[in-house]
A = this chain, B = another copy of it.
Amino acid sequence: MKDQSILLDHGSGGKLSNELINSILMPAFDNAILEAQEDGAIIPINQGRLAFSTDTFVVDPIFFPGGNIGDLAVHGTVNDVAMCGGVPQYLSVGLIIEEGFEISQLKIIVASMAKAAAAAGVRIVTGDTKVVPKGACDKIFINTSGFGFIPDEINLSASLAKPGDRIILSGNMADHGVTILTQRESLEFDAPIQSDSAALNTMTAAMLKAAPGIHVLRDPTRGGVGTTLCEIAKKSNIGMKIREKDLPVDQSVMGVCDLLGLDPLYVANEGKLLAIVPPEQAEAALEACKQDVHGKKARFIGEVVADHPGQVVMQTAIGGARMVDMLTGEQLPRIC
């Protein structure tokens, strides 16, 4: 790494994040399970495998249309376990709370976590609470870790995409990231949009049942759909073709993106998944996805190809073509 100090971009889920992870964390923690860099660890056990994942939630504001940091924290880890093919069962919760934080707010957050956990069918079985002095953290941060067993017949990995596979996106892009942005003080939008924060384990279970041969499941969180697809293309060493016209975005969300100069392809989602499915099971997978309450707008957005390995190419809406690269750093509102 060239930089001497941590920049916000190192946490953006984009390239600098990858650089940080690859140049500092991976070499240090050096092991094959971690290096797989799935959404969680897939751990062989005596009988079977476990999916194990962790995520820390530092969202600001902590309450936003469509959820709060509490249910988001449950959804996030439930989803990462589910993306590994695990059936999420147990979560841990690590709270960091700023001195002076309102207990009433904490109660709301914790109630949301409980509700989200119940809805997702997971139990929060261990936890830890730290309080730091006023000013040493911003209100509240939440870590969740969780695991679940992976059914024997399931084998998911970002490195398993194959030419011919079809790519499913389970719904509109960018709802979460744009919602959060519109809540920031200085932007002052009034928008009928809300975060898509949701647990997707029911959806993944249904999809895996209908299409047990699915190659890859990923939730396109930080970095968005664009970055997630690039990651898969690189890990599987395959090319991807996607179609701009099939990438669903809510019109209001698109309005905000236009005004601020953001590309929804790189904006975070918290209740969407990408599935890469062998062609013979693709329709079944899509159908199962669409049956789910969070997957009604699911559709095929493209295919895996043998050409241009490691690269994602988009057919633009007007019929041109362009590369889709990973996000570099956090997208900022811009005028140009």
Contact = CB atoms under 8 A, between A and B. Distances in A.
11 contacts: A5-B103, A7-B100, A8-B132, A21-B129, A24-B107, A29-B114, A29-B127, A33-B125, A56-B143, A136-B137, A137-B137
Which of A52, A103, A135, A145: most chain B CB closer than 10 A? A145
Contacts of A149: 45
Contacts of A131: 6-12
A45 B50 CA distance: 11
Q: Chain copies in the assembly? A: 2
**Interface residue range, chain A:** 35 or more
Interface string A19-43: 0110011001111011000101101
Given A137-B137, A137-B138, A54 B6 contact: no
Interface string A130-162: 111101111001010101010000000000000
Contacts of A94: 54-56, 94, 143, 145
Contact of A106 (B6, B45, B55): B6
Contacts of A129: 10-11, 17, 20-21, 25
A222 to B, nearest CB: 9
A138 B127 contact: no
Contacts of A106: 6, 24
The 3 A-B residue pairs with the shortest CB-CB distance, nearest first, are: A11-B131, A41-B125, A145-B145
Nearest to A128: B55
A100 B10 CA distance: 10
A75 to B, nearest CB: 14
A136 B17 CA distance: 18
A93 interface: yes
Given A102-B5, A103-B3, A143-B143, A54 B110 contact: no
B11 A130 contact: yes
Given A4-B104, A5-B103, A24-B106, 20 more contacts: A7-B99, A10-B129, A21-B127, A21-B129, A28-B107, A28-B110, A28-B113, A29-B127, A31-B124, A38-B126, A47-B47, A52-B92, A52-B126, A54-B126, A54-B143, A56-B130, A57-B130, A58-B130, A60-B136, A128-B143
